[in-house]
Amino acid sequence: MESFVPEISSALRQDIVKVPEVIKKASGIRLFGKKIKSILFSTDIAVIHNTNADAVIAVYPFTPHPAITKSIIESANIPVFSGVGGGLTQGQRCVYMSLFAEAQGSLGVVLNAPTPVQTVKSVCKVVDIPVISTVTSRYSDIEEKLAAGVKIINISAGKDTADTVRYFRTKYPELPIIATGGPTEKEILTTIEAGANAISYTPPTNGELFSVKMKKYRESEKEQYDSEH
């Protein structure tokens, strides 16, 4: 018999971005005593501040900047995994970004797939939070990066994500794995069953969310007009 879980909300927080329920089937990753199963993939501070996800993974296709990291962490009311570069941004700047992210309160730092092993080593030497390495295919060579200190891999392999998770889970039975789940509950479940411990979920955009709200406003106005006329 399931335990009753009391739920508390408010009139002003009815429209939060909820992650798919199926993510609860994941085992989770316990970091510093906190179990994390659902991870929101976003840098939109309005969305980040209004979600029921367990954490946020904040990576973006630009050179990492302290101002962005600071803004996201200050706005979030859940743990943040901060992107610190590793592709175009390597070496000392990547190390400085990692130190800054930790100082601001990041739960972990995320390195891009092309990050050289030497940069991985340098980052792992200076931070006391998990270093996460992004993996884009089953052909990614992660052995040296794991030896250098990477604690978690973040698999984002498009349509091949589940197969890639399965490959690395077979090779590393106890390695913590975060993976993109896909747009449907079926795809998310497939990724979990392949061996992902936690799922990153891409939420609707601000524009898509606003479109739904505006539709409700228009329908409400029409109903009110019809009732008065």
Q: How do residues 116-128 score in pLDDT, each as one tens digit?
A: 999 999 999 999 9
CB 97 within 8 A of CB 85: yes
Closest CA to 161 of 201, 191, 200, 192: 191
pLDDT of residue 122: 96
Residue 73 has pLDDT above 90, yes or no: yes
pLDDT of residue 183: 86
Q: How do residues 3-31 score in pLDDT, each as one tens digit?
A: 788 888 887 777 789 999 999 999 999 99
Between 123 and 89, whose confidence is greater? Answer: 123
CA angle 200, 53, 205 (to 5 degrees): 70
**Strand, coil or helix: what is 132?**
strand
Determine what percent of the chain is predicted with pLDDT higher than 90.
76
Q: Is residue 17 part of a domain?
A: no
> Over the chain, what is the mean pLDDT?
92
The 3 state secondary structure assigned to 37-102 is CEEEECCCHHHHCCECCCEEEECCCCCCCHHHHHHHHHHCCCCEEEECCCCCCCHHHHHHHHHHHH
Residue 113 has pLDDT above 60, yes or no: yes
Q: Is residue 60 part of a domain?
A: yes
pLDDT of residue 104: 96
The amino acid that residue 161 corresponds to is: T
Burial 40-57 (b: 16+ CB within 10 A, else e): bbbbbbebbebbebbbbb
pLDDT of residue 110: 98
pLDDT of residue 81: 98
Predicted model pTM? 0.90
CA distances from 97 to 104, 137, 215 (A): 10, 26, 42
Domain that holds residue 215: 25-223
98-107 mean pLDDT = 97
pLDDT of residue 15: 79
Q: Is residue 2 part of a domain?
A: no
The CA R_g of the chain, rounded to the nearest whole Å, is 19
Q: Is residue 32 part of a domain?
A: yes
Q: Is residue 134 part of a domain?
A: yes
The lowest-confidence range among 5-14, 153-162, 184-193 is 5-14
Q: Domain containing 143 — which CATH number?
A: 3.20.20.70
85-91 mean pLDDT = 81
User: Tokens at residue 89, please?
Assistant: 């941004």
Determine what percent of the chain is predicted with pLDDT higher than 70.
99
Q: How do residues 210-221 score in pLDDT, each as one tens digit?
A: 787 788 778 778
Number of domain units in the chain: 1
Q: Is residue 9 part of a domain?
A: no
Q: Is residue 37 part of a domain?
A: yes
Residue 89 has pLDDT above 80, yes or no: no
Q: Is residue 4 part of a domain?
A: no
> Which residue shows structure tokens 């228009």?
218
Residue 1 has pLDDT above 60, yes or no: no
Q: How do residues 168-182 score in pLDDT, each as one tens digit?
A: 999 999 999 999 998
CA distances from 60 to 90, 142, 183 (A): 15, 22, 19
